[in-house]
Structure 1
Amino acid sequence: MMKQRNTRHKAFDPDPDAPQRCCDMPDCTEQAGYRAPRSRDTLNQYFWFCLPHVREYNSRWDYYKGMSPGQIEAHLRADVSWERPSWAFGQSAARPKHTRFNEEDVLDPLNILNRSRQARAEQYRRNATPRAPAELREHLAILGLNWPLTLTDAKARYRDLARKYHPDRNNGDRQAEERLKDINISYTIVKAHLDV
């Protein structure tokens, strides 16, 4: 039976990507296999040490060395939000304009945002269109008028309906006469409302 080799390197093994060089500690001739950051401002630039010297360097390493307590607090707060600005919930107006969400900046191949924009516009139009007073709705329906309207429109419509349903023009038809009575009542009520 063949024994499987473990290719993972152990915690204290030298870095497999370490350059072939000597330790950066002065007067040390050991092979460098362990890296350590040069400073908090240059975390991607490294010293290369042997194991005893990297342990010594790490024991003395202080990321916040040289910072005041206020600077340390500010740095910790920035780290909490991944160094991105944040605002209290519901205060989006305090954000700079370039960080606010804008529907126009979003690619929308399925036209989803535009549909919602159209729905909002339609809702606004429905809410913006004035509705007739409840006591006039039935009378406006009898006269075939839409709200809002002027007294001139109501008079013109009444004249047309009166000619159409007048008993003299309909050979004394009782239904036309009843219809004209309803038209007269409705016109009187609408006219009284518009004269106010």
Structure 2
Amino acid sequence: MMNRRNTRHRAFDPDPDAPERCCDMAGCGEAAGYRAPRSRETLTEYFWFCLPHVREYNARWDYYKGMSPGQIEAHIRDDVSWNRPSWRLGQRGGRTHFAEEDLIDPLDLLGGGRPVRRPAAARPDVPEGLRQPLDTLGLEWPLSMDELKMRYKDLARRHHPDTNGGDRVAEERLKSINVAYTAVRAHLTAAREADLERTA
């Protein structure tokens, strides 16, 4: 029976890519098999140490050395967002435009006399499973397939992530629009087929 050789790198084995050189610790002549970053600013440039000296170096390593408490906090906050830019809540990635149909203001608290969508409970003629999808699409019942498709195309174009610079909120909104569109379309298709069977 042939024994397989285990090629897995063990935790304390020397780095297989280590250069053939001596430890960078002054006065040490041991082979250097372990790397450690030179500084916070040069994390891809390394010292090469033997195992005892890399342990000693790591025990003394302080990533935040020389930074004030404010700088440390700012650095940690940047790490939370992967050092990507962020904006205040409500600015939608720095864009100030919004779709008015996203606002539901039944008491007209914002002023402007915006049209108010009637709550689902006030529309008993709407099929039970379509109340939420119709609210999501901003449509009234009854409606035709053409009206549904036209509204869907408009919302999909408006909320597509490519149109909104990859905005995650727009992406999630588009997902809910797709689910609502599928539900309403399925109902209209089934109703049309039932009508055709009755008239046949």
**TM-score after normalising by structure 1:** 0.48
Q: Which has the larger radius of gyration?
A: 1
